[in-house]
A and B are shown apart, each in its own frame.
Chain A
């Protein structure tokens, strides 16, 4: 059995956002943007099938990533019972703790929070005030724009990278590549398929 080498810490970006079909394009926009900037997108999905509890797997993946992106735009009441999904804020809390604990160490952690446009976040997660969260309008283009602007200021990014506009223009190709891989796999899409599709369609700088 071969052991897969793990992605380098400095190149790993943990993505914390919903995985449901309604959010799917925004998840893919996050993944594609991270990939286009030369980083490895990482999520809980890469360890699907691992017997460890999900909480432990997420904690380990964030710990192994220098960067993380957390979309809190869906942390609101949903469904008949108006319940909010709190996994995203919980995972942001993990990243914030890593940032605090590792400040000035040789394994720092940097995170970005994505919130809905406007200032509503100051009501539901007021502690983010002062951390300059990125606001998006729920569109693929605004996710790409915000994630790109943040990644370009991070130490381990290359310069140049593809422009945000080029990433957006290549996004449909990425979706098509992924759809083809999903058909080949009889609708059983894996995290590897997502990364492979990104590698085939990512624009060059």
Chain B
């Protein structure tokens, strides 16, 4: 399995440590640390995320508001066209800060740890057992909520249809 590590600039040291440790464990891994000088960063991330089989997300405080990370996440999600690649969130505990998982990771089993050996062990385990990256309880709740939203949208469309004047002439933009 080829693994892509996503991280913010502040977590560069941990990313380098994790990447080296995974390689020592014969896991094919890539991160932005491997971008050659002068290489187009956006294109490199797009290309490597497309060929990766799974993604590890290092998430420190404020990750969700980091524009560089958000852009990278979009690239990864764009390249997870079938939503089948394992996504592994790693919450980096820095003091007492609350951590919100990014929306696309809410139904994933997150790794919470400050101990590097535990982190490596859990990441390796999830890479080797991709079906266990999903929090199935949360997934079922979300699917039910999705169904509820779909019904609400249908009701809204029906109410629009019933309204007088809902079907005026098509506008041009």
Binding site for B on A (CB under 8 A): 2, 4-5, 7, 11, 16-20, 35, 38, 40, 44-46, 48-50, 54, 85, 87-88, 132, 134, 145-146, 148-150, 152-161, 163-165, 185, 188-193, 195-196, 198-199, 202, 204-205
Whole-angstrom distance between the Cβ of A175 and the nearest chain B Cβ: 16
> B25: CB under 8 A from chain A?
no
B 43-74 to A, binary, CB cutoff 8 A, 1 in contact else 0: 00000000000000000000000010011011
B 99-142 to A, binary, CB cutoff 8 A, 1 in contact else 0: 00011111100000000000000000000000000000001001
Choose the segment among B7-15, B27-35, B90-98, B163-171 that binds chain A (4+ C-beta atoms closer than 8 Å).
Answer: B163-171
> B2: CB under 8 A from chain A?
no
Give Cα A202 to B83, complex, Å: 16
Whole-angstrom distance between the Cβ of A173 and the nearest chain B Cβ: 15
Q: Collect the chain B residues with CB atoms within 8 Å of residue A11's CB.
A: 149
> B150: CB under 8 A from chain A?
yes
Q: Collect the chain B residues with CB atoms within 8 Å of residue A204's CB.
A: 143, 146-147
Contact residues on B (Cβ < 8 Å of other chain), bracket: 35 or more
Asked if residues A188 and B146 are in contact (CB atoms below 8 Å), the reply is no
8 A/B residue pairs, CB under 8 Å, sorted by A = A38-B146, A132-B67, A158-B145, A188-B167, A191-B167, A192-B166, A198-B157, A204-B143
Of B71, B105, B143, B157, chain A has the most CB atoms within 10 Å of the CB of: B157
Asked if residues A152 and B103 are in contact (CB atoms below 8 Å), the reply is yes
> B26: CB under 8 A from chain A?
no
Give Cα A160 to B143, complex, Å: 7
Q: Collect the chain B residues with CB atoms within 8 Å of residue A7's CB.
A: 156
Asked if residues A18 and B77 are in contact (CB atoms below 8 Å), the reply is no
Binding site for A on B (CB under 8 A): 67, 70-71, 73-75, 77-78, 81-84, 102-107, 139, 142-143, 145-147, 149-150, 153-154, 156-161, 163, 165-173
Q: Collect the chain B residues with CB atoms within 8 Å of residue A45's CB.
A: 170-171
Contact of A163 among B84, B158, B165, B168 (CB under 8 A): B84
Q: Collect the chain B residues with CB atoms within 8 Å of residue A189's CB.
A: 167, 170
6 A-B pairs with least C-beta separation: A49-B165, A48-B168, A49-B168, A195-B157, A190-B167, A163-B83
Asked if residues A190 and B161 are in contact (CB atoms below 8 Å), the reply is yes
A199 with B153: in contact, given A153-B70, A159-B106, A192-B166 (CB under 8 Å)? yes
Whole-angstrom distance between the Cβ of B105 and the nearest chain A Cβ: 7
Asked if residues A19 and B70 are in contact (CB atoms below 8 Å), the reply is no
Contact of A145 among B78, B142, B149, B159 (CB under 8 A): B78
Contact of A192 among B104, B107, B157, B172 (CB under 8 A): B157
Asked if residues B173 and A88 are in contact (CB atoms below 8 Å), the reply is yes
Of B67, B74, B84, chain A has the most CB atoms within 10 Å of the CB of: B74
Asked if residues B153 and A4 are in contact (CB atoms below 8 Å), the reply is no
Give Cα A7 to B107, complex, Å: 26
A152 with B81: in contact, given A19-B172, A44-B171, A205-B143 (CB under 8 Å)? no
